[in-house]
């Protein structure tokens, strides 16, 4: 009798935790496990702003998949672009662009999310994201390049546009990105004698009326005060009306000369979700508390791509798309998948939030562990302690700690690596959201596969 085939799609927090649990808990020969991942690492997303600002190296937040597993899992280098749940076939585009078909008995959908965008003129062609390691590394080079070009320019209008930076999104990603990069340019400007520090301006804008409302009013205001004391212009209740190559027009009528627009205004589920034709909640697959997809045999989903009911809050609430929930969902889903194999009852996912941490760079931070509000150095210690402990390998932990210590002792560096220097590095370049198949295309693909025998 053939062993059951388990296919995990996505190597984010949820997918990796699921695989780790399966490898530990499954008996030898009980099932075959395969993981679909476009990269050979799990990206620790919360620390991307520190990569963009140069505090951490890119390798520090890229945790090797091969170091963190027990070598029972076959890794398929590519991305799922469609799933035929009737034929139980996942269509995968490998990193060579070759399209292959992977059969499964059980599939775990953890494809994560992509940057949420809106129909704003010029946005896709002129904005830069902060969702991938490549984007963070690119933004670092880009920001330093603006200082170099402004320092060399004799054109005052060009200088003005290169020295103003706009970050859209007042959530954790946007706030930390603006805070860390503003700290970088403040440190760097002393090495540019021709630049007036007063000309360098960072803007953080968000359509919401509060900064990071999840933190509560007190900590949200504390973070807002820290940013404004540093000179960051925070505008709430405002968004982008139009994005140009050298200016940004806001919905309140202001026109900012700007060649750096960083877009972090939320995320939306991977386009893979749309290939199922299943019920969704705000674009995420509507799953049961046990993380099964109703009406689809052998299909489980979790993380950013799934609307997992929040049984603690109740009232129809779903778990927020955070790393904390994804990691714990991955472990519970693995247990439920094993229970399915062994014909045992499944258990619902239920988890109380452990709190929130926001690293604003340097000695500044706000944190709310277990509901306790903190700010300053104590909050910074909690934030970095949480991130450090969440790294999955000792190698990753050593790299992160070494980088933090080196930055504290030696300060920031301002070297441009030339990473993809001839590419625009915009959302259109980095997020390949047009590569997925429609449900009909998936059916046609698998039908032709069946016809070929």
* Cβ atoms of residues 158 and 150 within 8 Å: yes
Residue 284 banded pLDDT, cuts 50, 70, 90: very high
Q: Which residue has 């996942």 as its token pair?
A: 90
Correct CATH for 123-266+355-423 of 3.50.50.100, 2.40.10.220, 1.20.120.1750, 3.40.50.970: 3.50.50.100
Question: 331-366 in b/e burial notation, b at 16+ Cβ within 10 A?
Answer: bbbbbbbbebbeeeebeebebebebbbbbbbbebbb
Say yes or no: do domains 5-45+62-114+268-353 and 123-266+355-423 share a fold.
yes
pLDDT at 42 over 80: yes
* Per-residue pLDDT tens digits for 287-340: 999 999 999 999 999 999 999 999 988 888 999 898 889 999 999 999 999 999
In the 8-state DSSP scheme, what is residue 309?
Answer: B
Rg, Å, the chain Cα set:
23
Report the top-level CATH class of 5-45+62-114+268-353. Answer: alpha beta
pLDDT at 452 over 70: no
The percentage of residues in the chain with a pLDDT greater than 90, rounded to a whole number, is 73
Distances (CA, A) of 412 to 7, 70, 91, 190, 221: 42, 37, 44, 12, 28
pLDDT at 26 over 80: yes
> pLDDT value at position 425?
77
CA nearest 323: which of 133, 46, 131? 46
Task: Kindly give the pairing relationship between strand 247-250 and strand 255-257.
Answer: antiparallel
CA nearest 75: which of 27, 99, 39? 39
* Per-residue pLDDT tens digits for 199-232: 999 999 999 999 988 888 888 899 999 999 999 9
Domain ranges of the chain: 5-45+62-114+268-353, 123-266+355-423
Mean pLDDT of 163-168: 98
């Amino acid at each position: 009798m053939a062993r059951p085939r388990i296919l995990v799609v996505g190597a984010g927090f949820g997918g990796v935790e699921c695989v780790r649990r399966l490898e530990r808990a499954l008996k030898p020969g009980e099932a075959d496990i395969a993981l679909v991942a476009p990269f050979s690492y799990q990206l620790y997303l919360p620390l991307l702003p520190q990569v963009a600002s140069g505090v951490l190296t890119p390798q520090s937040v890229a945790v090797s998949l091969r170091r963190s597993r027990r070598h029972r899992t076959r890794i398929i280098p590519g991305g799922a672009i469609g799933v035929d749940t009737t034929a139980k076939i996942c269509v995968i585009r490998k990193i060579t662009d070759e399209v292959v078909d992977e059969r499964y008995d059980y599939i775990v959908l953890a494809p994560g999310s992509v940057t949420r965008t809106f129909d704003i003129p010029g946005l896709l062609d002129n904005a830069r994201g902060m969702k991938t390691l490549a984007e963070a590394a690119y933004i670092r080079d880009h920001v330093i390049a603006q200082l170099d070009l402004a320092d060399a320019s004799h054109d005052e209008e060009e200088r003005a546009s290169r020295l103003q930076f706009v970050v859209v999104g007042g959530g954790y990603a946007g706030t930390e990105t603006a805070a860390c990069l503003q700290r970088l340019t403040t440190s760097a400007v002393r090495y540019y004698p021709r630049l007036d520090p007063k000309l360098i301006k960072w803007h953080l804008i968000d359509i919401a009326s509060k900064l990071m409302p999840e933190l509560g009013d007190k900590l949200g205001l504390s973070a807002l005060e820290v940013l404004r004391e540093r000179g960051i212009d925070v505008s709430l209740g405002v968004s982008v009306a139009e994005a140009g190559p050298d200016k940004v027009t806001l919905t309140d009528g202001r026109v900012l000369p700007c060649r750096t627009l960083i877009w972090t205004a939320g995320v939306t589920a991977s386009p893979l979700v749309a290939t199922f034709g299943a019920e969704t909640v705000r674009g995420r697959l509507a799953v049961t508390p046990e993380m099964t997809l109703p009406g689809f045999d052998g299909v489980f989903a979790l993380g950013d791509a799934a609307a997992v009911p929040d049984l603690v809050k109740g009232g129809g609430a779903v778990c927020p798309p955070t790393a904390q929930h994804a990691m714990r969902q991955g472990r519970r889903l693995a247990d439920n998948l094993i229970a399915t194999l062994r014909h045992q009852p499944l258990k619902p996912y239920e988890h109380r939030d452990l709190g929130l941490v926001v690293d604003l760079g340097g000695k500044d931070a706000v944190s709310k562990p277990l509901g306790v509000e903190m700010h300053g150095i104590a909050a910074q210690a909690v934030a970095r302690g949480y991130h450090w402990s969440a790294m999955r390998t000792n190698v990753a932990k050593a790299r992160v700690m070494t980088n933090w210590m080196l930055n504290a002792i030696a300060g920031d560096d301002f070297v441009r690596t030339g990473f993809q220097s001839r590419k625009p590095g915009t959302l259109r370049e980095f997020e390949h959201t047009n590569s997925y198949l429609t449900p009909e295309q998936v059916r046609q693909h698998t039908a032709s596969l069946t016809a070929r025998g």
